[in-house]
Structure 1
Amino acid sequence: MGKMLSEAFLIITVALVLANTVVVKVSGQSLTIWPMPATVSYGQSHLYLSGNFKLSTEYVDSSGILKDGFNRMVSLIKMDHVVDANRSASLLGLHVVISSPNEQLQYGIDESYNLMVPSPEKPAYAHLEAQTVYGALHGLQTFSQLCHFNIKRKVIEIQMAPWTIIDHPRFSFRGLLIDTSRHYLPLPVIKNVIDSMTYAKLNALHWHIVDTQSFPLEIPSYPKLWNGAYSTSERYTVADAAEVVSYAQKRGVNVLAEVDVPGHALSWGFGYPSLWPSKDCQQPLDVSNEFTFKVLDGILSDFSKIFKFKFVHLGGDEVDTSCWTTTPHISKWLKKNHLNESQAYEYFVLRAQNIALSHGYEIVNWEETFNNFGNKLSRKTVVHNWLGGGVAQKVVASGLRCIVSNQDKWYLDHLDTTWEEFYLNEPLTNITKLNEQKLVIGGEVCMWGETVDGSDIEQTIWPRAAAAAERLWTPYDKLAKNPRQVTKRLAYFRCLLNQRGVAAAPLDGQGRSPPVGPGSCYVQ
């Protein structure tokens, strides 16, 4: 839950409710906010924003996060329209109160906020309270969705005032995976994805940086690794990666970096061929070679200087160990150490975990590691479910944490999975004990890159990712039991994304389907 309301805000809230405002108890089509807040009350009046709408705050904004967020919000609500600054206005600005000066972005930070927009009796300020600046950023996003450009008056208006919104996320981890190995994504594309995430209150960018196909990231400790990039222009420097992390952090988004081992790593060997079992059998990484673990240590050491999120993703999925048994020197090593191939897989994963722990990380691993030797995993492991249902239930029963991304519902590259299926996917299915529910830290939608690049990634992500975003943000009892109850509201959000320059696809049809013909954005 979010922090307790301040006394002043509580008095205002009670007054508004007593003044015959409407309290929303379920997802309603009359509201256009996405994702639906925890508690909403509203009235029937109109407010008009001043042409010089101002930020008022006593918060010491040392890194400019609040100011920049406010300026971005003002730009979003104007949507490049020319606003008539001479019109009389009833809302002069937004007063923001932030309790904590701590701007360190980490997992579990307080993201709650309280937002009050007054009645239009006299010129006044809207009021936003949050424990942290990152909660305030969410409040700014919600405020932006209350604002509309009045085309006749040429001003920004807020309908259905006064508003009181008390809000907090259901899950602390609300993720989106991007894959820059299957297709390189230019930095502006990645930044646009981060911006679009904030509109739906997603807060974790899972960056699947490298894989079998390419190794685009500069690793100073082992500079030949990025020889595995597709080309010299399809690479990220250390400064590029740091810029992505900084850009995301200023918007309240953590970056979860992944290095997927021991499988999915053929590209490593273009720079260092000794990492391959042999020239003819090139993955998984050579478990018998100490150099393999030195390289992994170097990568994670360099990661720790860039990626400040408390978790690092070590993959561990889809490991075909046949190269280990058919390569003579590895087969000999296995026999010497009394290991079969499944035991060698366990040895590799656990040793990789220890390396990550030595660099201060907690670990995320794909579910195969749990399915094969879950009782051996570090207790600092988060198991990433992707193969299907029932796994999360087993993970939390064992006392480990879990992220839900079951591929049948939350894989964006599955174009035949509809937004309705994304919306109905419940991370806590069959998890009834409160202590076990708390171990599900959240969920993630996955945009695997085999068939997406900069040309089509946005319309493949949106609006289906927004359906999952509401599932992860909105309290369970406020979620619609039937997706048809939220169709109009999601359609409105999709059109809002388009207006903000995000190429979100229509709701009808499969993922990234084009419009079927002429018509309004709101009915496609």
Structure 2
Amino acid sequence: MAQALRPLLVLLAIGSCIAADHIDLWPMPKSVTHGAQRLYVSKDATMSMVGSTYSDEKAILKDAFQRMLDLMKLNHNADDTNRSSFVLTGVNMVVHSPEDELSFGVDESYNLTVPTIGDPLHAQVEAQTVYGALHALQTFGQLCYFDFTSRLIELNSAPWMITDAPRFPYRGLLIDTSRHYLPLTTIKGVIDAMTYSKLNVLHWHIIDEQSFPIEIPSYPKLWNGSYSYSERYTMSDAVDIVRYAEKRGVNVLAEIDVPGHALSWGVGYPSLWPSDSCKEALDVSNNFTFEVIDGILSDFSKVFKFKFVHLGGDEVNTSCWTKTPHIKEWLNNNHMNASDAYRYFVLRSQKIAIAHGYDVINWEETFNDFGEKLDRKTIVHNWLGGKVAPKVVAAGLRCIVSNQDKWYLDHLDATWEGFYMNEPLKGIDNPEQQRLVIGGEVCMWGEQIDASDIEQTIWPRAAAAAERLWTPIEKLAEDPRSATSRLSRFRCLLNQRGVAAAPLAGDGRTAPYEPGPCVRQ
């Protein structure tokens, strides 16, 4: 498609969809019916929990409801209304489970009803868990908008009846804090934006060869490999991020990438390097290497409570092992070649993680090279292309899809349409094997981004993938152009909420092409 034509096609798509599609929700719910009545939402709307088993002792719902009200007002001063009818005075939340543990596969379904009759008039949310209720509030917030003429919060097309649940339990976004440090406020902003499109896993690629920014109490010299004294995260910072995310229904997946991508480890502990002149991958022959991995995962287990930990395992260059005399001798004594040692390293690291209570995620090279040897609970993280997932699930292992040609956000030539149309179950027809694809993840690698441009590089393309991961396949648009008006509206909503989402027209983080309203960019 010629670049010059794309803005025009966006305009045509928006114009053709507005009249036909009045459901401006993103991601599209499982089931939606609505009417034609306009309601008004009291600026002092309240939340009740009549009939709820959940007690909200941690104020998860209370705080989420207040955030929703603040977002609906968009920092404007909504007027009181003296209308005697059609005023929603609150939302009643019925949560059936008293538990609030954010476990993998937690029930995220919900029912949302916005009636036009009632005294008082209340919207009703029913969910099995508090995390389904959080998604309901996100949907309700999208139904409401501040009207500048009436100075009221309005809700059109009532009554609404929405039944919703995610298609996949794992809907992830990766951030990379090794290539460029990201301040805590930036990470929290990413988490907030994730919740708007119902993504639920923040994959924190904390460490890589360039820097080791996080505190490890068991081995305090490791963060000597950070860029500077100010570009670091304490364990308290990590706890803060995890708690912030969990309160919003987002799990945090921590990653240490071993044995490659670990040059920074040796700044504090040089014995982790094969030698002073050949520094990657980590020294496979040294028991201290695995003691450090054990210490890291021990410290992680006290903070990162998600069921999974990511151990990387990709792009391992073993040439230092075969060039370094003491490692070469170790290989010979153990009757191993470099490939055997790579397998040994990954499997030994897996055993350490499992001992700390984790299930392990590894990048797909581990499966491609020795998949039959991986622990059977391993989740294989696809990234090289779109054909590995069918092989993984055929082997009986679980898979996360992130094929780089479609779902890598640092590929600025990857358009939102490509993100939208990337199907995780492509080539997988067996229902049992389909269930082994637990979801997908868009990846924001950090070589070319930092706090200055991360938001416009992520959004709105990540939201396009989010609908693919949330919405039932039969509800997804067969032609992405038919979803353009909804995504454009959602992108504008992100902007209004303070998220620097880039225009739809053009490639990743392209600037607006001319003056005009938000929805036409």
TM range (shorter): over 0.9
Deviates more, 1:57-66 or 1:371-380: 57-66
Q: CA deviation at 1:151?
A: 1.2
1:304-345 Cα deviation digits (max 9, x unpaired): 000000000000000010000001110010001000000000
The question of whether the paired residues in 2 share the 8 Å contact of 1:55 and 1:93 is answered with: yes
2:383 maps to a residue whose letter is W
What secondary structure is seen at the aligned counterpart in 1 of 2:221?
helix
Which one of the candidate residues 365, 380, 383 is aligned to 2:380? Answer: 383
Which one of the candidate residues 119, 139, 142 is aligned to 2:139? Answer: 142
What secondary structure is seen at the aligned counterpart in 2 of 1:223?
coil
2:66 maps to a residue whose letter is N
The question of whether the paired residues in 1 share the 8 Å contact of 2:81 and 2:152 is answered with: no
1:77 maps to a residue whose letter is M
1:233 maps to a residue whose letter is S
- Rounded to whole Å, the distance in 2 between the matches of 1:494 and 1:30 is 17
Q: CA deviation at 1:29?
A: 3.0
The question of whether the paired residues in 2 share the 8 Å contact of 1:29 and 1:485 is answered with: no
Does residue 477 of structure 2 align to residue 480 of structure 1? yes
Tell me which residue corresponds to 1:41: 33
Superposed counterparts of 1:51-450, under 5 Å: 51-58=43-50, 59-88=54-83, 90-119=87-116, 123-450=120-447
Tell me which residue corresponds to 1:17: none
What secondary structure is seen at the aligned counterpart in 1 of 2:93?
strand
The question of whether the paired residues in 2 share the 8 Å contact of 1:69 and 1:137 is answered with: yes
Aligned length: 498
Q: CA deviation at 1:489?
A: 0.6
The question of whether the paired residues in 2 share the 8 Å contact of 1:45 and 1:120 is answered with: no
Tell me which residue corresponds to 1:507: 504
- Rounded to whole Å, the distance in 2 between the matches of 1:363 and 1:295 is 17
Distance 1:42 1:221, change over 3 A: same
- Rounded to whole Å, the distance in 1 between the matches of 2:20 and 2:32 is 11
**Sequence identity, in percent?**
67
1:181-213 Cα deviation digits (max 9, x unpaired): 000000000000000000000000000000000
Q: CA deviation at 1:120?
A: 5.1
2:42 maps to a residue whose letter is S
Q: CA deviation at 1:121?
A: 6.8
The question of whether the paired residues in 1 share the 8 Å contact of 2:425 and 2:437 is answered with: yes
What secondary structure is seen at the aligned counterpart in 2 of 1:266?
coil
- Rounded to whole Å, the distance in 2 between the matches of 1:520 and 1:453 is 28
Q: CA deviation at 1:473?
A: 0.0
Q: CA deviation at 1:152?
A: 1.0
Q: CA deviation at 1:85?
A: 1.5
2:201 maps to a residue whose letter is A
- Rounded to whole Å, the distance in 2 between the matches of 1:80 and 1:159 is 21
2:143 maps to a residue whose letter is L
2:74 maps to a residue whose letter is M
- Rounded to whole Å, the distance in 2 between the matches of 1:415 and 1:229 is 27
- Rounded to whole Å, the distance in 2 between the matches of 1:155 and 1:123 is 18
- Rounded to whole Å, the distance in 2 between the matches of 1:517 and 1:80 is 27
2:122 maps to a residue whose letter is Y
1:326 maps to a residue whose letter is K
What secondary structure is seen at the aligned counterpart in 1 of 2:349?
helix
With the length of structure 1 as denominator, give the TM-score of the two structures.
0.94
- Rounded to whole Å, the distance in 1 between the matches of 2:134 and 2:273 is 46
Name structure 1 gaps, 5 residues minimum: 1-26
The question of whether the paired residues in 2 share the 8 Å contact of 1:28 and 1:485 is answered with: no
1:232-264 Cα deviation digits (max 9, x unpaired): 000000000000000000000000000000000
1:60 maps to a residue whose letter is S
What secondary structure is seen at the aligned counterpart in 1 of 2:137?
helix
Deviates more, 1:109-118 or 1:84-93: 84-93
- Rounded to whole Å, the distance in 2 between the matches of 1:482 and 1:28 is 15
Tell me which residue corresponds to 1:23: none
- Rounded to whole Å, the distance in 2 between the matches of 1:57 and 1:207 is 34
The question of whether the paired residues in 1 share the 8 Å contact of 2:222 and 2:269 is answered with: yes
The question of whether the paired residues in 2 share the 8 Å contact of 1:83 and 1:154 is answered with: yes
1:350 maps to a residue whose letter is L
1:325 maps to a residue whose letter is T
Q: CA deviation at 1:390?
A: 1.1
1:63 maps to a residue whose letter is K
What secondary structure is seen at the aligned counterpart in 1 of 2:369?
helix
Q: CA deviation at 1:380?
A: 1.1
- Rounded to whole Å, the distance in 1 between the matches of 2:193 and 2:147 is 24
The question of whether the paired residues in 1 share the 8 Å contact of 2:313 and 2:363 is answered with: yes
1:201-227 Cα deviation digits (max 9, x unpaired): 000000000000000000000000000
What secondary structure is seen at the aligned counterpart in 2 of 1:160?
strand
The question of whether the paired residues in 1 share the 8 Å contact of 2:31 and 2:164 is answered with: yes
1:406-444 Cα deviation digits (max 9, x unpaired): 000000000000000000000000100100000000000
With the length of structure 2 as denominator, give the TM-score of the two structures.
0.95
- Rounded to whole Å, the distance in 2 between the matches of 1:137 and 1:52 is 19
Name structure 2 gaps, 5 residues minimum: 1-18
Q: CA deviation at 1:28?
A: 6.4
Distance 1:235 1:28, change over 3 A: farther
- Rounded to whole Å, the distance in 2 between the matches of 1:260 and 1:97 is 42
Q: CA deviation at 1:122?
A: 5.5
Tell me which residue corresponds to 1:15: none
The question of whether the paired residues in 2 share the 8 Å contact of 1:403 and 1:444 is answered with: yes
- Rounded to whole Å, the distance in 2 between the matches of 1:474 and 1:68 is 26
- Rounded to whole Å, the distance in 2 between the matches of 1:120 and 1:466 is 34
Q: CA deviation at 1:51?
A: 2.6
What secondary structure is seen at the aligned counterpart in 2 of 1:444?
strand
